[in-house]
Structure 1
Amino acid sequence: MSDEPRLCLIASPTAQAQEAAELLRDRYEWVPVEKATMAVALGGDGFLLQTLHGMLDRRRTLPVFGMNLGTVGFLMNEWSADLLENRIARAKTFTVTPLRMDAVTVDGERISIPAINEVSLLRETRQTAKLEVTVNDRIVMPELVCDGVLASTPAGSTAYNFSAQGPILPLDSALIALTPISPFRPRRWRGAILPERTRIMFRVLDPIKRPVSAVADQAEVRDVATVHVAIDRSSTLTLLFDPEHALDDRITMEQFAT
């Protein structure tokens, strides 16, 4: 039995990604996603996250080699149609463990969604959010008055978390960044760095007058009452990178970007 990976091709609906997909289909052999052992994804970071979430929903995850045909492409390799099989054979493997957001709405609806980058709570109106923050069943902040707060994985620490002035976490750090968004009270709190085994719970204070939404990557749940966040060890994702464009190196160098 051959040890060669069976590749499937997944492309963003954008014209640029579709043109690239046609070029690759002519050059290499592909199988349907159901028979594949590895995926090649063409698009941007948002499309890659969408692809990974689709795998989590189907409970069948494949290693993914992404090529950037979007805007930033932080989680992607450079686009090239040449020597794809050699690149995949040389690729460096990274395992990413997502967060799990378990939210309960004001109406009592329970919703569970994975988050590869971050879980964020955001005010829905002009009024600030008021949140109680609990870590490992201990209330660590009785009242956080803010525009929002987020919990980020190392893989997502250079995205929304970094824009909110949160710390960049090395990919192998086994940490979670807890970062406030425009905090009003307490003024001097700038967040926390927590072990990945930590269980975080947010309770919305006065959720009717000050409604809050919870967002797991790209999926939003409005009018939440409580949100639990923890690493989901039942789900793992594998990303493949060219050795010269490895994700851990990118995350390290982001700390020196100007």
Structure 2
Amino acid sequence: MATPIGNLMDITARALLVLARASLIACEDTRVTGKLLGHFGIVTRMLPYHDHNAGMMRPRLIAQALNEPVALVSDAGTPLISDPGYKLVAEARAAGVNVVTAPGPSAVIAALSIAGLPTDRFLFAGFLPAREKAKADVIAELANVPATLAFYESGPRLAATLTALRAGLGDRPAAVGRELTKKFEEMISGTLSELAARWADAPPKGEIVVLVGPPLPAPAATADELDSALREALTSLRVKDAARAVADRLGLPRAQVYARALALKDAARNG
């Protein structure tokens, strides 16, 4: 479950019941989760579970979860989204533990719901690499994904990441969400170049989500471009093969391109 420390009103009654009934709460930082428990008068014992002690703690947590309820809490947002909890869940399920969820706010889902970008398909890619070459390589891998892309980012790196996305993806529509579901929440939309310029000299504070719209449709080929491509293809391919190759390259309906290829072939034969 989540501990939305930034906005205590976001926690659900079900989540509070789970925390109160648990025999043990595994959390990233006991100081952070302790604030939440103290606010609601919950006295359940806590143990830290994070990247540095996860291997040692998992067997202990799983052994207890086989006999008593154990809760897993993240510092902010829904657990297992960019945190180490997935290994604990995987091993707990393999050991026969019944794992259930009491979801809290998720920054990426919150951002998608208010950004005004397509949500029928989206790909969450977490944090991009910090190094310029590695970042560019990952962006290149995502360039042709037909979906809205979602990333987490820090304030100091935001402008550089937006610039790298502009270079690798083109100047697509995008949005930057900051401190979502919290007091200073904001969502700013624009093109990638506009957003990069906005924060070039003044990095924002807080937790940030970057959303980038799907690839922009290529401009439709003109009649002259179609004829030129077909004439070139017909010098070495049969009509059917030439039409298929040109249709795929220009993004046009194959039937339309095939009909035009036949017309050009007949014109050449009769000319």
State the TM bucket, normalised to the shorter chain.
under 0.3
Higher helix share: 2
Higher strand share: 1
Normalization by structure 1: what TM-score?
0.27
Relative contact order (C-alpha < 8 Å, sep 6+): which is higher?
Answer: 1
Normalization by structure 2: what TM-score?
0.26
